[in-house]
Amino acid sequence: MDESKTSSEARLPGQSAVFLDRDGTLIEDRGHLRDPREVVFFDETVEALRRLQAHARLFIVTNQSGVGKGLVTAEEAARVNAFVVEHLRRHGVLVTAVYCCPHRREDGCDCIKPKPYFLQAAAREYDLDLRRSFVIGDHPSDVDLALGVGAGALYVLTGHGLKHRSEAPPGGVVVPGIREASEWVLACLEMWRQEMRFPGLLHSAAVMLRRGGIVAFPTETVYGLGAMVFDEQAVARVFEAKQRPRFDPLIVHISGIEQLGLLVERVPEAARVLISRFWPGPLTLILPKAAGVPDLVTAGLPTVAVRMPRHPMALALIRQVGLPVAAPSANPFGRTSPTAAHHVRGPLGGRIDLVLDGGACSVGIESTILSLCGDPPVLLRPGGVAVEEIEALVGPVARTPPLSSAPVSAPGMLPRHYAPRTPFQVWDGSETVCAHPGERVGVLAFKKTFGAGPYAARQVLSEDGDLREAAANLFGALRRLDEQGLDRIVAEPVPNVGLGCAINDRLARAAGGTCAKDG
């Protein structure tokens, strides 16, 4: 079914497209669906597709072998597909076409995934560049489909994704769900735009790093300031540019599991389980370090912090460098973390060699840091992966006391960190936040219902109380308040669950434990 012919949007030949699996990717996989009333969309599907359609055509490509097996009629399958398209249309998402293979695999048809028949047909009819397109799905055949035509492959862990994780071929990017898949696609498109504006940009950045330079680059969490991990002089430049104390260790970023052997002495089984589930992504693991890792990187500790970022520009840069890159956040030490390139250029622009612009960071707060050097594992810093998700895989996790004064064993553990220049406090639960006569107070609100009053400035992290949206907006909102010449900023804490634990941690450290009281 084709719904694109009436679109007034000008379409250029060679445009990008996103080919979406249906069951387990856009909607829950509930077996062979016969009735539209059985369709249940994932909560994040509509918003993810709204963001994607501004930059690429959207197609659905689905295998419905239930038709060939006699479990579903062709008419029933078509009604379900039509309902999915109409539901998305009502919510502002236009699907250009749906391609449905009704055959069993043993039928030997030309259209069943991973055969490229439908993608090649779409490319001819809609002037698509498959090399700048993407396939998103929850089955290894979706990855094979993408790789077969040179498209980007996004393997989601919804639907059957977790079950078949070990069968997914190399070459695809594993992401939790449709939201993260859309964020990856948008980051890729931004990276390509930057490469078109500045040909050879990533190559130049990699050469700069190999020659001892320091380069700021985007990740899904915050922007990092990178140096070659084994170049101690370059790493020292990172400390100097940030004015970072050398007792605070750095996180080392890798582009592939094969680089772990350069950094760690051993990889415990719990680490393998977490890596399979959360890498690439906002999870840093503390592991026993290999002898070759410089003490400057680890602050003299016998452990090293490692993660694989979930950002195409970060991974492409590290791959071109050919070695891991040590990278703390690209901001003056102790100050608000950068989530956009211009956050880096202002305070650090004259001290570093290059800033790569990859757009806004999608997660917006730093990675979760977990030590696996003892039993049980220890959460050293809450972050972009909720501790509840970690415990579901490896069992109970010990917590370090909040704002502990114990020796620093991982980044971001100092009692005061992430702080704006403006005096900053966290609301202590009083009924109101009052300004003293002549005082200009700014409010950092979780939801739109907080802090409605005669304040000099107000930033809302998420009008609807979405913790992921709040996390993504946190540092940017704090920076905007910090730029308004206020006398004081007061922040509303968020629910202390999931990502809320990480947000509250950042608020508490930014305030140094200070609470605001009524009046």
* Lowest model confidence (mean pLDDT) among 10-24, 398-412, 458-472: 398-412
At residue 98, does pLDDT exceed 50?
yes
What percent of the chain has a predicted confidence (pLDDT) above 90? Answer: 84
Spatial distance between the Cα atoms of 158 and 489, rounded to a whole number of angstroms: 40
Tell me which of 220 and 2 has the higher pLDDT: 220
Confidence at residue 379, expressed as pLDDT on a 0 to 100 scale: 95
Helix or strand or coil: residue 195?
Answer: helix
Which regions of the chain carry the CATH code 3.40.50.1000? 17-178
Q: Count CA atoms closer than 13 A to 75's CA, side-chain side.
A: 0
CA distances, 64 to each of 105, 121, 397, 477 (Å): 10, 19, 42, 46
Contact call for residues 248 and 410 (beta carbons, < 8 A): no
Spatial distance between the Cα atoms of 118 and 114, rounded to a whole number of angstroms: 10
Confidence at residue 70, expressed as pLDDT on a 0 to 100 scale: 95
Spatial distance between the Cα atoms of 64 and 74, rounded to a whole number of angstroms: 9
pTM of the model: 0.91
Confidence at residue 408, expressed as pLDDT on a 0 to 100 scale: 65
Helix or strand or coil: residue 273?
Answer: helix
At the top level of CATH, the class of 424-516 is: alpha beta
Task: Give all strands of the β-sheet with 215-217 in edge-to-edge order.
Answer: 354-355, 215-217, 224-228, 325-326, 251-253, 303-307, 283-288, 368-371, 378-381, 398-399
Confidence at residue 6, expressed as pLDDT on a 0 to 100 scale: 34
Contact call for residues 220 and 315 (beta carbons, < 8 A): no
Residues in the chain: 519
Question: What tokens appear for 269 in the block?
Answer: 């089984």
Spatial distance between the Cα atoms of 178 and 25, rounded to a whole number of angstroms: 6
Confidence at residue 427, expressed as pLDDT on a 0 to 100 scale: 85
What's the distance, CA 132 to chain centroid? Answer: 20
Question: How much is the average pLDDT of 421-442?
Answer: 80
Confidence at residue 415, expressed as pLDDT on a 0 to 100 scale: 67
For the chain, what is the total number of helices (H) and then of strands (E)? Answer: 15, 21
The values of phi and psi at residue 38, to 5°, are -85, -10
Confidence at residue 428, expressed as pLDDT on a 0 to 100 scale: 77
Question: How much is the average pLDDT of 143-159?
Answer: 98
pLDDT band of 436, cuts 50, 70, 90: confident
Question: In the predicted model, what is the mean pLDDT of the chain?
Answer: 92
Which regions of the chain carry the CATH code 3.90.870.10? 201-399
Q: Count CA atoms closer than 13 A to 162's CA, side-chain side.
A: 10
Q: How is domain 17-178 classified at the architecture level of CATH?
A: 3-Layer(aba) Sandwich (3.40)
Confidence at residue 14, expressed as pLDDT on a 0 to 100 scale: 76
- CA dihedral (402, 396, 286, 375) positive or negative: positive
What does 463-519 look like in DSSP terms, one character per residue? Answer: TT--HHHHHHHHHHHHHHHHTT--SEEEE----SSTHHHHHHHHHHHHHTT-EE---
Spatial distance between the Cα atoms of 111 and 120, rounded to a whole number of angstroms: 10
Q: Which amino acid is at 289?
A: K
Contact call for residues 362 and 277 (beta carbons, < 8 A): no
Q: Which residues contact 431 (CB under 8 A, 6 or more apart)?
A: 518
Which regions of the chain carry the CATH code 3.40.50.11030? 424-516
Confidence at residue 431, expressed as pLDDT on a 0 to 100 scale: 58
CA distances, 410 to each of 120, 256, 369, 371, 497 (Å): 49, 22, 7, 9, 22
Pick the CATH number of 201-399 from 3.40.630.10, 1.10.1270.20, 3.40.50.620, 3.90.870.10: 3.90.870.10
At residue 513, does pLDDT exceed 70?
no
**Chain segment 245-301, per-residue pLDDT in tens:** 988 999 999 999 999 999 999 999 999 999 999 999 999 999 999 999 999 999 999
Q: Count CA atoms closer than 13 A to 488's CA, side-chain side.
A: 19
The values of phi and psi at residue 424, to 5°, are -130, 135
